[in-house]
Amino acid sequence: MKKFFLLLCLITICLGASAHQSEESKKECCSAGEKCPEEKPEKKSRLTLGGYGEAVFTRNFYSDNYMRYTDSETYKNDDSHGRFDLPHVVLYLGYDFGKGWSLGTEIEFEHGGTESAVEIEEEEAGEYESEVERGGEVALEQFWIQKSFSKALNLKMGHIIVPVGATNQYHMPTEFFTNYRPEGENTIMPCTWHETGISLWGRLKDWRYEVLFLPGLDSDRFGRQGWVHDGAGSPYEFKIANAYAGAVRIDNYSVKGLRMSVSGYIGNSFKNTLSETQNKKYEGVTGTVMIGAFDFQYNDHNLIVRGNFDYGHLSDSELITKYNMSMRKDSPSPKQAVGSDAIAAGIEAGYDIFSFWESLKSRNQKFYVFGRYEYYDSMYKTEGSIQDYAWCGRQRIAAGVNWYPMKDIVIKGEYSLGLIEKPYNNEPAVSIGVAYSGFFTK
C-alpha cells in the first residue's frame, strides 16, 4: 500500500511539472509572437438554427358575428370577446455546404398549426371517425439553395420570400411594434408572401437589389376583403404556372440609421388555375396584377420610425368577378367581387425611454412607447358594375409599449381602434403579447 501511494505521488508530481512546463512553453510561444493554441478563433458552425414566434391575447370590444357588416345595427351592442392566439411560430434551419453553396429552410406554424384525432363514435355504431381538433396551418415558407459568387452577386433557387412591401421583407415580430403584423399590407397582399422561383440579389456599397422570376397569382381566389391576398400558394399539391410574374426590390442605406426601399410586382393571374375556361367571353382576359411600394425605417438616437405606402391595380377586375361568381360551389374560389385598385399606407414611431437611465441602458434593455396610424382599402376603386363595399376601407390607430429585456425577446402591450365609415361600427381592442426572434447557433 505504501508503494502504491509513493507511485501515485510521483505520477502527480510529474504531471504537475509537465503541466507547468506546458504552460511556460505556451507563454514563450505567445511572447514570441506566435498564435497560442487557445487563441485560435472559434470556427463558425456550418449549421444555423433559429426562428421566431408570437403568443398574443386580445380582447375585442365589438361583435365577432360574421353578419356584423351586412347588419351592423343588430350587432352594434354585442358583448366583447377574447382570444388567445399563436399567430406565427417559425423554425429556421440553414447549412453552409462551402464553396459558395448554402441552404435555407423555414417551417411555419400559423395559429398553432393543425391537429387531428381518431375517435370511436358511440352514437354511430362504434365507427372510427377522424376529426379536426385545431384549425391552423403548417407551411414550408422557405426552401432554397443559394450560390454566392460575391457579395454583389447571389443566385437563390427554390421556395423564397417575395420582398414586395415592408412587411414581406421585415416580418419578424421584433421588426414592428404592434402585436400583429401591420394590418394594411397584411390585408391586401399575400403576407408573408412566398413562392417557388428564382432570385438574383446582391449588395453594392450602400445599395441592395433583388430581382425575382415567379409563377403568377391565381385570380380564382381573389376577394373583396383581401384583394389578391389569397392568390399566392396553391390549394392543390402543386403550384400552377400557366402565367408568370416578376418582382424587384431596391434598398438604399446612404444615410446613417436610415433605410429607404422601393419594390414592385407584375404578373398575369387569369387562367392560372385548373379550372381554365374556354368561354369566348373571357378571351383576352389577363388579370394583370401590378403592385408598387415604398417603405422606410429610421433607427437612431433611441428613435425608430417606420412607414410604408403600397398601391395595386388589377386589370379585368369586372370580368374576373363575374367569372369567379359563376364558379361551382365546391371550387376554392370565395366567389366574391374584386376591386380594381387597392391601397395601404401606414406609419409608426417609437422612442426608447430606458435611454434616460444609464443603468438600464448599460444592460441593453429597451422600452419603446409607440404610436401607429394606417389606412387601407381593398376596394379602393371598382370597375363597371362591381359594388364597392365601404367596410373594406378603414383607418386604424394603435398605441402601446414594447419592452425588450434582451435583444431577441419582446413583450408587447397595445390599444387599437379600427375606424370605419357609418353605418358600420368601430372596432376597439386591447392586446398583450410576447415574442422572440433570433438564432440559436453561431
Domain-located, residue 172: yes
What was the pLDDT predicted at 299? 97
Give the integer Cα–Cα distance in Å for 224 and 69.
13
What number of residues does the chain have? 442
Domain containing 173 — which CATH number? 2.40.160.10
The confidence score (pLDDT) of residue 276 equals: 76
Of the candidates 392, 273, 244, the one whose C-alpha atom is nearest the C-alpha of residue 332 is 273
In a domain, residue 37? The reply is no
Distance in angstroms (rounded) separating the CA atoms of residues 346 and 365: 27
pLDDT at 132: 66
At 42 the pLDDT is 62
For the chain, give the secondary structure using H, E and C. CHHHHHHHHHHHHHHHHHHHHHHHHHHHHHHCCCCCHHHCCCCCCCEEEEEEEEEEEEEECCCCCCCCCCCCCCCCCCCCEEEEECCEEEEEEEEEEECCEEEEEEEEEECCCCEEEEEEEHHHCCEEEEEEEECCEEEEEEEEEEEEEECCEEEEEEEEECCCCHHHHCCCHHHCCCCCCCHHHHHHCCCCCEEEEEEEEEEECCEEEEEEEEECCCHHHCECCCECHHHCCCCCCCCCCCCEEEEEEEEECCCCCEEEEEEEEEECCCCCCCCCCCCHHHCCCCCCEEEEEEEEEEEECCEEEEEEEEEEEECCHHHHHHHHHCCCCCCCCCCCCCCCEEEEEEEEEEEEHHHHCHHHHHCCCEEEEEEEEEEEEEEEECCCCCCCCHHHEEEEEEEEEEEEEECCEEEEEEEEEEECCCCCCCEEEEEEEEEEEEECCC
pLDDT of residue 15: 37
Domain assignment of residue 254, yes or no: yes
Is residue 27 domain-resident?
no
* Residues in the chain with pLDDT values less than 70: 1-43, 115-134
Other C-beta atoms lying within 10 Å of the C-beta of residue 365: 16
| Alpha carbons 261 and 257: distance in angstroms, whole number | 13
Q: For the chain, what is the domain count? A: 1
- Could you identify the residue written with the cell 345595427? 73
- Domain membership of residue 5 (yes or no) is no
Output the CA torsion sign for 364, 365, 371, 374: positive
- Whether residue 17 lies inside any domain: the answer is no
Neighbouring-strand partners of residue 372: 348, 398
d(CA 390, CA 442): 50
Which pLDDT does position 106 carry in this prediction? 95
pLDDT tens per residue across span 176-222: 999 999 999 999 999 999 999 999 999 999 999 999 999 999 999 99
C-alpha cell at 142: 422557405
**Is the C-alpha dihedral spanning 436, 375, 232, 241 positive or negative?**
negative
The cell for 127 is 365507427
Domain that holds residue 340: 46-110+137-439
Contacts of 97 (CB under 8 A, 6+ apart): 46, 103
| Residue 335 covered by a domain | yes
Residue 389 lies in a domain: yes
**CA pair distance 55, 425, nearest whole angstrom:** 27
Q: Which residues of 107-126 are buried (b: 16+ CB within 10 A; e: fewer)?
A: bbbbebbeeeeeeeeeeeee
